[in-house]
Structure 1
Amino acid sequence: MKNCNPNAIPADPNAPLYSKDINNEEDCSAPYREAVGCLMFLAVVSRPDIMFAVSQVSRFLSNPKRNHWNAVKRIFKYLKGTENVGLLYTGKEETLIAYSDADFAGDLDTRKSTTGYLTSIAGAPVTWSSHIQKCVSRSTTESEYIAALETSQEVMWLRIFLQELGFLTEVPTKLFVDNQSAIQLVKNTEYHKRTKHIDVKYHYIRECVENGSLTVCHVPSEDQLADILTKSLPKEKFVKNREALFIV
């Protein structure tokens, strides 16, 4: 792939991936598992912009098809064109902030939603994740609420870690969510008929808000930085999101 033509985005928003062989394609004989393993290391350590694309292709390790291998090669083509791109920590923002987002029923095989979150300090992300939720959500509100809960767990771990390093974390960490219904569900502990089926463990975020460790804020969808971790974005939106993350 050293002499390949670069791509502008790591995942094609117009080419969804399935596990089923809908086009009667032959099994892939390429080193699929090895390639995805290399990409996963890079996505976890220093390149959140490819996290969703790598997470998506990693779902087909057991039985990859030719279209899955083409998706892997597309990621390499994107990396070829962004060899000099990396995270820039400016040090201007000293407080910890977090973003959470969800793509409702984004997995076309299981119809489970995708959680994407990131935490940022010193001007750029320090932790990020993109993964399938463990349960099937019945609404966008539910999927966003679960994503916010998973983000709150990461935030609480980081707050404890920063305290051990000597940083004061008395100010509540801001968690930005772009779904108003999910925010209301966090703040309102009253009985909700349509959400009573949500597991008790997912209400942990309410406790974080009540004890002053976390505050949930609304952010417009166009400014949701975690959007890059939940779905394949068009080129213009992808580049805008990437630059907002100080991946320059």
Structure 2
Amino acid sequence: MKKRLLVTFIGVGLVGCSSNETEEVMIMAAASLNDAIDELIEIYEQDHNVDITVNYGSSGQLRQQIIQGAPADLFLSASIADMEEVVEAEGIKSSTNLIENTLVLIATPEIASTLTSWADLTTAPYQGLAIGETETVPAGRYGKQALESMGIFADIEDKLIVGKDVRQVLTYVQTGNADVGIVYETDARVAGDAVTIVAEAPANSHDSIHYPIGLLTTNNSAANLYEWLQQDEAMATFESYGFQKGE
């Protein structure tokens, strides 16, 4: 069932910096956003007097770091649940659903021919299914939900190879440390010919994959970036990586 993130605004606007000094913005962002955010930062810094630093990781680990006091101006999560915990703990300034993604089963090209569906995971001759840690990695949690929905999680649990975030899961498959894996479609696209998408997970087999963005501070430069990331120029970059605009 699709969840909706409560959106709260306190009049954040596109405000300018009061000095010529370069302002700093710290972002905590889900690992699956790495390539898109890196490109967006490059675009944004060309026209704005700001120095943006990003810490990538699993949304659950980043959520814990923020709540424990790690400095952050913006939080881009791959999980509504992790954002909601930060909202509750930090008194977040503003938040909204930004983009969406799709969960897919991938395989090495050598193994892909033996897999035509998720159900084949119980019979195909593969070595290791890479999946994100199910408590802290949203893609891992969605993956477990999908496998349980299909009734096959218990049958393949002993084949799981757990990654600290979705990009580590992708690397396991790219390097052959696992024959198959569960990642987002955007991650599979970044990998190119190194992996093959076997099948998408049925939409009703797991929680909807929303990426909320939250503004954590009153930093004017962070507020400007928060607003810009929701505009057409930034959204076009997200979509070029396979993300869909959030609803």
The TM-score range, normalised by the shorter chain, is under 0.3
More strand by share: 2
- Provide the TM-score with structure 2 as the length reference: 0.26
Which protein, 1 or 2, shows the higher relative CO under an 8 Å CA cutoff with sep ≥ 6? 2
